[in-house]
Amino acid sequence: MQIKEINWSALQNGSDIRGVALEGIEGEKLNLSPAVARAIGLGFTEWLSEQRAKLPCNLKIALGHDSRLSAPELSQAFLEGVAAAGAESYYLGLASTPAMFMTCITTGFEYDGSVMVTASHLPWNRNGFKFFTASGGLNKGDITNILEKAADAYPIEAPPAWTMPDMIDFMGVYSGQLVEKIRQGVKHPTHPDTPLQGLHIVVDAGNGAGGFFVDRILQPLGADTSGSQYLEADGNFPNHAPNPEDSEAIASLRELVLREEADLGIIFDTDVDRAGAVDRNGVEINRNRLIALMTAIIIEDHPGTTIVTDSITSDELGQFISKSGGIHHRFQRGYRNVINEAIRLNEAGQDTQLAMETSGHGAFKENYFLDDGAYTVTRILIKLAQLKQEGRELNDLLAEFTEPLEAEEFRPKLLTTDFVSLGKKVMADLEHLVANTEGWSLVAENYEGVRVAVAPGQGDGWFLLRLSLHDPVLPLNVEAREAGGVKHIASKLNAFLSQWPEIDRSDFER
């Protein structure tokens, strides 16, 4: 179906493109059709031609996709646009987002650019595109430029007699890289080729693209993977949302680990750039706890390094990083923001080995600052196997880590088209309120929204009110170390926001 009127800017989601690719959900209109995808393919090729200072006919562009229902049709259309622009296209089939970046730097491939067709954890009817060059993922301005070029070219036709290229199994190459990383990392004294022997590890791929991790990585390394679930690619996502942050998904994994008496449970999002885990005791290794674990692992090799996180990480995480000998640098939400800040700090001479969001996006300096869920799990598996040889377990690394007694996120909505101006007004007035509220104080070195420390007796914790990166929403994160602290803090903020009738505060009612 061709769309008559297209709001091209609405397709931009920060440093990605996302849209509605299939009809079927009430109130959502199709805006990412094959015709639009074809124009975006041409737009990306023209952008890449300028960036690489190469004629399109000298460019090589690769494409892979996750398990979404619209992936085959959009993939073909995008590559038709690449071909219409004159570049050579390569098709990798079912793949992960991190693997698509690796196609740009792996010897024997080294594509000029690559694209992943995915919409991460979003519902089945959505889809989109993530782009890479050898320098890494694209930034917001790059996406704007690509969409402008697509709009200028739209509509375009597929080249006459063009056919899809044969599929290349790059996932086998990428998996081999991770297998070798684990073998070299563990260096098992008696079975170096199967260093995960004796470990029972279960995987929940959420019917996304992560099923490869079982048969291409864990099993060749000797792990028992019996009981692993939802490994088959199915874009209907029939079992649970493909999202490590989803409460139903993580509860399903926890139940699986305990039932199977596994040593570790792993969960991926649809395109495998995020991961979460559950330990043998059923304890979630997610959000702040996942960042704490990766901190403990990375600081063994890089004492004193800086860890960049997003803005909603807990005070307790900061204390853990400090006690571990690291430096906590809390920055803005958005995985691209966190990664770019880590790169900036390194360029300024401040050793920064890890950039990680509470969402599960984790990027290591040693791995090109690529947010790769499979690589995060690889680092966990190496440490798990090493600890097993010592008679220890992952939880030993987190003995000093604590979590707040209560935590909650509220999402009041801004019911106005000029929501940015309203958001700025709210922030300014909130700072004035903080200055006049006993037990509240602004947190120094805050890079996003208004973060406030709350004294004991008033909740004993903190809250952060910020404007969403993409939506007319004021996310409010509250944590407390006192029983009833979240409710106490949130009630004050609910009363504060009540002065604006254009703010929907119904989320506070729960």
Residues in the chain: 510
296 phi and psi, to 5 degrees? -60, -35
Alpha helices (H) in 436-510, listed in sequence order: 485-497
User: Do 223 and 368 belong to one domain?
Assistant: yes
Domain contains 213: yes
CATH of the domain at 440: 3.30.310.50
Domain that residue 477 falls in: 406-509
Give me 377's structure tokens.
């799990």
Is residue 291 within 8 A of residue 285, CB to CB? The reply is no
485 token code pair:
């602290």
Are the C-beta atoms of residues 327 and 305 closer than 8 Å to each other? Answer: yes
CA separation for the pair 18, 147 (Å, rounded): 12
Peptide bond into 303 cis (omega under 30): no
Q: Does residue 22 sit within a domain?
A: yes
CA–CA separation, 485 and 142 (whole Å): 43
Dist CA 501 CA 490 (whole Å): 18
Tokens of 496: 């504060």
Helix (H) or strand (E) holding 449: none
Per-residue pLDDT in tens (0 to 9) along the chain, 510 residues: 556 589 999 999 989 999 999 998 888 999 999 999 999 999 999 999 999 999 999 999 999 999 999 999 999 999 999 999 999 999 999 999 999 999 999 999 999 999 999 999 999 999 999 999 999 999 999 999 999 999 999 999 999 999 999 999 999 999 999 999 999 999 999 999 999 999 999 999 999 999 999 999 999 999 999 999 999 999 999 999 999 999 999 999 999 999 999 999 999 999 999 999 999 999 999 999 999 999 999 999 999 999 999 999 999 999 999 999 999 999 999 999 999 999 999 999 999 999 999 999 999 999 999 999 999 999 999 999 999 999 999 999 999 999 999 999 999 999 999 999 999 999 999 999 999 999 999 999 999 999 999 999 999 999 999 998 778 999 999 999 999 999 999 999 999 999 999 999 999 987
Q: Is residue 216 part of a domain?
A: yes
Domain finish residue from 121, 149, 168:
168
Count the alpha carbons within 13 Å of 251 in the hemisphere toward its beta carbon: 6
> pTM for the whole thing?
0.95
With beta carbons less than 8 A apart as the criterion, state whether 89 and 79 touch: yes
Whether 27 and 143 map to the same domain: the answer is yes
The token pair at 26 is 């009430």
* Sheet-wide strand order for 362-364: 327-330, 306-309, 352-356, 362-364, 370-371
Instruction: For residues 232 and 289, state if they share a domain.
Output: yes
* Torsion (CA) 232, 238, 244, 249 in degrees, nearest 10: -120
Which of 146, 168, 190 is the endpoint of a domain? 168
Is residue 302 located within the same domain as residue 384?
A: yes
Cβ–Cβ contacts within 10 Å for residue 420, how many?
12
Q: Are residues 34 and 161 in the same domain?
A: yes
CATH of the domain at 372: 3.40.120.10
Q: Are residues 334 and 413 in the same domain?
A: no
Q: Are residues 202 and 294 in the same domain?
A: yes
Residues 155 and 25 in one domain: yes
Cβ-contact 459, 437 below 8 angstroms: no
Neighbours of 447 (CB within 10 A): 14
Domain boundary, last residue among 340, 366, 398: 398
Residues 368 and 241 in one domain: yes
Q: Are residues 307 and 435 in the same domain?
A: no
What DSSP string runs through 189-217?
SS-TT-TTTT-BEEEE-TTTTTTHHIIII
Phi, psi of 91, deg, nearest 5: -115, 125
Cα dihedral 131, 133, 137, 140 in deg (nearest 10): -70
- H helix or E strand, kind and range, residue 418: none
Count of structural domains within the chain:
3
- Sequence-distant (≥ 6) Cβ neighbours of residue 115 within 8 angstroms: 41, 44, 61, 62, 63, 64, 78, 100, 129, 130, 131, 132
CA–chain centroid gap for 363, Å, is 10
- The Cα 463–Cα 450 span in angstroms is 8
Instruction: Label the pairing between strands 88-94 and 60-65.
Output: parallel
